[in-house]
Chain A
C-alpha cells in the first residue's frame, strides 16, 4: 500500500507518497536525494543515519517514513546556510574531529540536539550524548573536544 504523507525537511514542506514499509532513511536518501544521512548498519546501532525529528535525534533507519508524517526533519544538509557553516560544523573542522567523515553528519546532529537541550554540558554529558553514534577513526576525543568548545561557560 502506498500512502500520501507530508514532511517538513530542512524547512521545506514536502508532499510525497510512500509504501508503508519504507523507512525514513530510504525516503531521505533515495526519494529526496539527501545523501548526507548515511547508512552504517541498518539496525539502529551505529548512529550514522541520525537525523532530528522535531528536534530530537533519531535513527532514520529504524523509523518508518509514515511515522514522521506531519513532522519536522532536520538533516545535515539543513544545518549550514549557503557557505555559512553552523557553529558545530566549524568546531568539528577546527578541532580535527573528522577523519573519514562517514559518522560526521550523525555526530553533528546528535551534538546539536545536546547543545540545544544542555547548552553547557560537562565532558561526561557530551560523551553520554554520543553513545548511539559510533566513530571508528577518531577515538571520539577530538569530537568531544569540538563539542565542549561550544559549551556556554560562565553561567554557573
Chain B
C-alpha cells in the first residue's frame, strides 16, 4: 500500500486555470438565448394574513413578461422533510423574506421596478421569534402545530440519576449558539428553462442535485422525468445551497413565459431568505469520575427552525447525540426539541448541529478537567474512542486518529509550556471533535455512491458523478482517484458537470460525504473500465487480464515492460473493435452502514469517522475586550489524504469560519427582521483578523474510504469555537457560554468579575 502516482499528491484543482482567468461560468453568469430576469416580492411582515394581491400595475409595466402569485402555482405543500413549504405564500406569510409573488422581465431593473408596483394587503398577525416563547401555551401558531413543535428527540441509556450521584465531578451550564450566515461569495442563483414539451431544465447551484429533483417534482406536480437538474460551477455553499423557493419561483416564471429565467438573490435577500445556521439553547450536564473517566451526559436542546423546518430537526438530533461517539459516555439522557418561529428558516451550515454541540461539550470538558486538576488534552485522550471500538450508539470506528491528533496539536502548539506560563490576558485552549463521512440516517431509502467513466476513441476519460463540487475541489479528488485506478495522468481526465440526464443518482455533497461516497463510486466505475481495457489488451498480448497492469499511461504485461501499449492505443483498438462503442465503466459502492433504530438510535451511520484536535492561542486586551488569535494549530484525522493541499485549504477555511463564529459573526434579528443583512454590518474575519494556521494531517488508513480516505469539510470547523472559548478562559478565567464572544461581552464580564472579587 501507499505507492501511489496520484493519491497523496498535492495537486491544484483541475479547473484552476479557468478560475484564475475568470473563464469559469458560474450559475449567476449563465445567459441563455431569450433569457428573462426574475425577482421575488418578499414579505416585510414576520406573520400576516394575505388579504389581497393586486399585480395589475406591475403587469402593465413595459418589459414585464409575467407576474405570478400562489394562484399560479400548484399550491401543493412540500418540503425536503416536513411538508410545510409552498412555492409562493398561500394565505399567509410566516417570516420577513417569505416569497409572496415573482416577476419575470427583460432585465433585472424592470423586474425590480415591477415588484414596487405590486400591492399586497396584509392583516398582521401576532408573531413569535424565540423558540422558548414559541413553545409556550397560547403562543401564536405558525403552522397550526401544537406548541409550534416541529419534532422531539429523545434518547436515554443507562441510569443517569445514579450515575451522576456516583460522579466525582459534575458540571452543568446553559449554552447558546447563535444564528450565523454561510456567506458564500456567490449568492443563491439559478436559471430555469421550460421547453415546449413542458420539461424543465434547472441550472442550479445545489449541493443535492438528485434529491432537489425529487422535491421539486412534488412541488410542481410533475413526474420526475419532466425535471432535469444541471449543476454548473457555483461559488461556495457550506451547507446552505440545497432546496430553495428561489429555484421554484424561477420554474413557475419559465413555465408561464416559455423562456429561460434567471434568478439571483441580491445579498440582502440572501441574508433574509437564505438558510442560516439553526440557533440552539443547550443545557448540558456532564459527570466524570475522579480518574477523569467521562460517565454521564444529560442534554436538553431547543433549536429554532424558523418558519419552515427544512433539515432543522435532523440538525437538532445530530446535536443531541453525535458527540456520544466521540467519548465513552455510559449513561445518557437526551431531549431535543425543534420549534417553529417567525424567522428565516434555518438549516445546514458546516457541522450540521455537531458544531453547536461541540462548542458546548468541549467547553464543559475544560471545566471538568480543571475541577479534576487534569490536563485537558489528557482528558480527551483518556476518553476518546479508538480504532476498532464500537460506540454506545453502535458506531463502528474503523479508524481513529484522535489520540495522535491531540498529541500532534499539543506538541506543535507548545501546549504544555504555554499552559504553565500563566499570564493574565494570554491563553491557550484546546478542543476536539468527531464527525461522519456521510450519514446513513439522512436518507432511509439507501446509502451508497456511484460513478460512470466513459473513455472515447481519443482516449479522453470523462467521469460522471452525482455529488456536487461547491468549490471545495471535489472534482479534482475524483479525477485523482480515477487517474490512479487507470494509471494515467490528470491531463487525460475530465469530470463532467452533474446532469441528472447523464449522471448517476447521487445523494450529494453534505455530511462530509463527497470523498468517501463519490470517491468510492467513481473508483468502482474506473475499475470496471479498467477490467474492460485489460480484456482488450489481454487479447492483443495473448495473455490473461490478471497478468496486466495500468501504469504511467501504458498497459503492460506484469514483469515484461517491453510488452506494452499506450493507454490510448488500447482504447482505440477496443473502441473500433466494438463498433465504435466507448469504453464505459459503471460502478457503485454500498457501504456496510446500519440505519439507526428509530427509538434506540442504535446503528452505524457512517462508513468512516473523522476526528480532530484544534488549539487556539489568544491574547485578550482587557482594556477593549478585543481578542487576537495569535496562533492556531489544527490536527485532523483525514484517513489517507488524497490531496493534502486541498485538505489544508479545507482546514484553513473551516477554522477561519469557526473563529468568525466564536468572536464576531452574528445575524442580528429584531422582531423577525435581520438588521445586518450586508457585509458591512455582518462582520466576518478578514485577512488581518486571523493568525497563521498550522495544519497537520493524521492519516490512519480507513478500511472503508477510497484508498483509506475520510472526509474533512465539517470537522474543519466543528471544534474551532470551543478552542477559542477555552483559550479565552485560560487567558482571563471567565467562561463564556454564548456565541459570539464579542468585546462588549468580554468587557462586561471582566467588570462583573471584578465586582464579585
Residues of A bordering B, CB below 8 Å: 34-43, 45-46, 48, 75-77, 79-80, 85, 89, 92-94, 96, 98-105, 108, 124, 126-128, 130-131, 134-144
Cβ of B351 under 8 Å from chain A? no
Q: Is the CB of A141 within 8 A of B693?
A: yes
Q: Is the CB of A43 within 8 A of B22?
A: no
Cβ of B648 under 8 Å from chain A? yes
Q: Is the CB of B267 within 8 A of A100?
A: no
B183 contacts across to A, CB distance below 8 A: 134, 136
Cα separation A138 to B15 with both chains bound (whole Å) = 16
Q: Which of B144-152, B542-550, B677-685 contacts A (4 or more CB under 8 A)?
A: B677-685
Q: List 25 A-B contacts (CB under 8 A).
A: A38-B26, A38-B185, A38-B186, A45-B680, A46-B267, A46-B679, A89-B20, A93-B20, A96-B10, A96-B648, A98-B19, A99-B472, A100-B186, A100-B236, A101-B15, A102-B186, A128-B687, A128-B688, A136-B183, A136-B657, A138-B649, A139-B653, A139-B655, A139-B656, A141-B690
Across the A-B interface, how many residue pairs have beta carbons closer than 8 Å?
168
A140: contacting residue among B266, B267, B679, B687, CB under 8 A: B687
Q: How far is the CB of B600 from chain A (nearest CB, A)?
A: 39
Find residues 224-242 in chain B having any chain A CB closer than 8 Å to their own CB: 233-236, 238
A100: contacting residue among B471, B680, B690, CB under 8 A: B471
B687: contacting residue among A34, A104, A127, CB under 8 A: A127
| A144 with B687, Cβ < 8 A, contacts A38-B26, A100-B235, A138-B653 known | yes
Q: Is the CB of B690 within 8 A of A140?
A: yes
Cα separation A127 to B187 with both chains bound (whole Å) = 25
Q: How far is the CB of B147 from chain A (nearest CB, A)?
A: 37
Cα separation A130 to B686 with both chains bound (whole Å) = 8
Cα separation A16 to B234 with both chains bound (whole Å) = 31
Task: Identify the closest chain A residue to B270 (Cβ).
Answer: A41
Cα separation A89 to B12 with both chains bound (whole Å) = 12
* Per-residue contact bits, chain B 28-46, to A (CB 8 Å; 1 contact, 0 not): 1100000000000000000
Cα separation A80 to B29 with both chains bound (whole Å) = 20
B679 contacts across to A, CB distance below 8 A: 41, 43, 45-46, 134
Cα separation A39 to B187 with both chains bound (whole Å) = 9
| A43 with B678, Cβ < 8 A, contacts A76-B21, A131-B687, A139-B655 known | yes
A135: contacting residue among B21, B24, B25, B185, CB under 8 A: B185
| A136 with B652, Cβ < 8 A, contacts A98-B16, A101-B471, A141-B692 known | no
| A42 with B21, Cβ < 8 A, contacts A96-B649, A136-B653, A142-B648 known | no
Cβ of B317 under 8 Å from chain A? no
Q: Is the CB of B267 within 8 A of A41?
A: yes
B471 contacts across to A, CB distance below 8 A: 99-102, 137
A100 contacts across to B, CB distance below 8 A: 184-186, 233-236, 470-472
Cα separation A41 to B267 with both chains bound (whole Å) = 5
Interface residues in B, total, Cβ within 8 A: 54
Task: Identify the closest chain B residue to A29 (Cβ).
Answer: B29
Cβ of B23 under 8 Å from chain A? yes
Task: Identify the closest chain B residue to A19 (Cβ).
Answer: B109
Q: Is the CB of A36 within 8 A of B21?
A: yes
Cα separation A123 to B267 with both chains bound (whole Å) = 31
Q: Is the CB of A40 within 8 A of B22?
A: no
Q: Is the CB of B267 within 8 A of A139?
A: no
Cβ of B106 under 8 Å from chain A? no
Q: Is the CB of A37 within 8 A of B186?
A: no
Q: How far is the CB of A48 from chain B (nearest CB, A)?
A: 6
Q: How far is the CB of A33 from chain B (nearest CB, A)?
A: 8
Q: How far is the CB of B491 from chain A (nearest CB, A)?
A: 14
A134 contacts across to B, CB distance below 8 A: 183, 185, 679, 684, 686
Q: Is the CB of B22 within 8 A of A96?
A: no
B648 contacts across to A, CB distance below 8 A: 96, 142
Q: Is the CB of A41 within 8 A of B678?
A: yes
Task: Identify the closest chain A residue to B182 (Cβ).
Answer: A136
Q: Is the CB of A130 within 8 A of B20?
A: no
Q: Is the CB of A77 within 8 A of B21?
A: yes
Q: Is the CB of A45 within 8 A of B678?
A: yes
Cβ of B460 under 8 Å from chain A? no
Cα separation A84 to B266 with both chains bound (whole Å) = 35
Cα separation A24 to B473 with both chains bound (whole Å) = 32
Task: Identify the closest chain B residue to A126 (Cβ).
Answer: B687
**Top 3 closest A-B pairs, CB basis?**
A36-B22, A100-B471, A102-B235
Cβ of B17 under 8 Å from chain A? yes
Q: How far is the CB of B480 from chain A (nearest CB, A)?
A: 14
Q: How far is the CB of B721 from chain A (nearest CB, A)?
A: 15
Cβ of B646 under 8 Å from chain A? yes
B649 contacts across to A, CB distance below 8 A: 96, 99, 137-139, 142
Cα separation A100 to B266 with both chains bound (whole Å) = 19
- Residue from B18, B29, B182 with most neighbouring chain A CB atoms (10 Å): B29
B182 contacts across to A, CB distance below 8 A: 136
B16 contacts across to A, CB distance below 8 A: 92-93, 98, 101
Q: Is the CB of A104 within 8 A of B20?
A: yes
B19 contacts across to A, CB distance below 8 A: 98, 101, 104
Cβ of B747 under 8 Å from chain A? no
Q: How far is the CB of B473 from chain A (nearest CB, A)?
A: 7
| A102 with B185, Cβ < 8 A, contacts A136-B238, A140-B687 known | yes
* Per-residue contact bits, chain B 1-20, to A (CB 8 Å; 1 contact, 0 not): 00000000010110111111
Q: Is the CB of A40 within 8 A of B21?
A: no
A108 contacts across to B, CB distance below 8 A: 20
- Other A-B pairs, 20, CB within 8 Å; known A39-B28, A99-B472, A134-B686: A36-B22, A40-B185, A40-B186, A41-B679, A46-B267, A76-B20, A77-B21, A92-B16, A98-B16, A99-B473, A101-B18, A102-B184, A102-B235, A126-B687, A130-B687, A137-B185, A138-B649, A139-B652, A140-B687, A141-B690
- Residue from B19, B187, B238, B653 with most neighbouring chain A CB atoms (10 Å): B19
